[in-house]
Amino acid sequence: MSVVIGIQARTSSTRLPGKILMDLGGKPMIERVWDAVWGPFERYILTSKDPSDDDFCRCMQAHNIAHRRGSLANVLSRYTALAKEKRPDVLVRVCGDAPFLDRRWIFRAVDLAEAGPVFVPGALHAGRVEDWLDCEEQCDDDDREHAGARWFEDRGAILDLVPPTYFTVNTMAEMERARALWEKK
């Protein structure tokens, strides 16, 4: 089975600009997310065509990190473009601010995604190419900005895998918390 992981990331985050490039245990946070989702998958960073992401893209090119560029506001279109290009059995969406993501959640989601969309609250969603294209056709603009998360939640199998201690990094306080936790690893 072919599985592609798309990691959405941009430097122009409204809550914490540049967070994906902030240091987390000696590496940029986006690299921590990249490492967290390793496995028998193709991985791509999905960023925007906005000039604010030009330096980020040059950095990825220099480190041979596979990436694609797309709309700044329509994050879903980045995923559907990747789905159309790669035609995987399953495409998984994760966020570039999720350094504590457990890759076992991906394996569980992929196992179910062959039958239809899967939603892991607070962590990821996955589906077949057809699911992603249906989502693109049916969701509203607000959901496009969130890569179709609401669509997947409404139509997908819900996997309750995420512990209450899990968090993504959206503020400086959360970055400091992540750094403190990373030091304990």
Q: What is the predicted pLDDT for the residue at 63?
A: 84
- Could you give the CA distance from residue 137 to residue 131 in angstroms, rounded to a whole number? 10
DSSP 52: G
- pLDDT at position 185 is 77
Q: Residue 141's CB: how many other CB atoms inside 10 A? A: 9
Cα angle value 63/26/182 (rounded, 5°): 125
Give the CATH H-level superfamily of domain 3-184. Spore Coat Polysaccharide Biosynthesis Protein SpsA; Chain A (3.90.550.10)
Ordered per-residue pLDDT tens for the chain, 185 residues:
999 999 999 999 889 999 999 999 999 999 999 999 999 999 999 999 999 999 999 989 988 899 999 999 999 999 999 999 999 999 999 999 999 999 999 999 999 998 999 999 999 999 999 999 999 999 999 999 999 999 999 999 999 999 999 999 999 999 999 999 999 87
Angle of the 172-184 helix axis to the 29-36 helix axis, nearest 10: 60
Domain boundaries, the chain: 3-184
Nearest to 1 by CA among 79, 109, 88: 88
In the prediction, which pLDDT does 79 show?
Answer: 98
